[in-house]
Amino acid sequence: MSVWSELGPRQWHEFVNKEVCVTARDQHSYTGHVFTVDPVSASVVLVSPAGPERPSVTMVLGHAVQEVQVLSAGTEEALSCMKHLFTPGHTATFSAEELGARRESLCAWLQKNRVPVHEEGEMLRVADTLTINAPYGPGDCTCNNEIILARVQSLIQSHSTHDLEK
């Protein structure tokens, strides 16, 4: 294998989501799935399951990488786990049924509060200006109008509080 730091972003990208063993210059080995490689420093971010709910994240600095050996190809499950790990507010995973129930519950709550909302596939759309994606929390809203965004997020937060009181 060529020297890690001499590879470029295209070659590093080929390692993303693969299970690898990284050997550092101090002869320590680190095993996990490659989440990303920093294109400036060549540092490798590895995610390895330390338990069902607490994966560990390790960064091996680019200048210390001596060798990267691919152990296995990445899986969709590992990729999904890594994406949820690094996406704020998405630490919990929900089944399709749970997401459907959350979407319907939030839609009914918004309608009860006289917010014009409708479903577009798995997304909720409010007044054709705001979208709410799974898992339908306050952080899952997208809108260019900050006033509408803040008000809908507040309603979603109160819906979550309302559900907890039941």
Number of domains present in the structure of the chain: 2
Per-residue pLDDT of 40-77, as tens digits, reads 889 999 988 755 556 788 899 999 999 999 998 877 77
- Domain holding 14: CATH number? 2.30.30.100
Q: What element of type H or E holds 127?
A: none
Same domain, 103 and 51: no
Range of the domain at 13: 4-85
Task: Name the 3-class secondary structure at 92.
Answer: coil
Alpha carbon distance, N-terminus to C-terminus of the chain:
59
Q: Is this prediction's pTM over 0.95? A: no
Sheet of 117-120, strands arranged across: 117-120, 123-126, 130-132, 141-143
Other Cβ atoms within 10 Å of 98 Cβ, number: 13
Domain contains 102: yes
The token pair at 147 is 């006033």
Other Cβ atoms within 10 Å of 11 Cβ, number: 12
Show pLDDT as tens, one digit a residue, over the chain (166 residues): 458 888 888 888 889 889 999 999 888 999 989 888 998 889 999 988 755 556 788 899 999 999 999 998 877 777 777 776 766 554 457 788 889 999 999 999 999 999 999 999 889 999 889 999 888 988 889 988 889 999 999 999 988 765 544 4
Tokens 């990208």 found at: 13
CA distance 97 to 149: 27
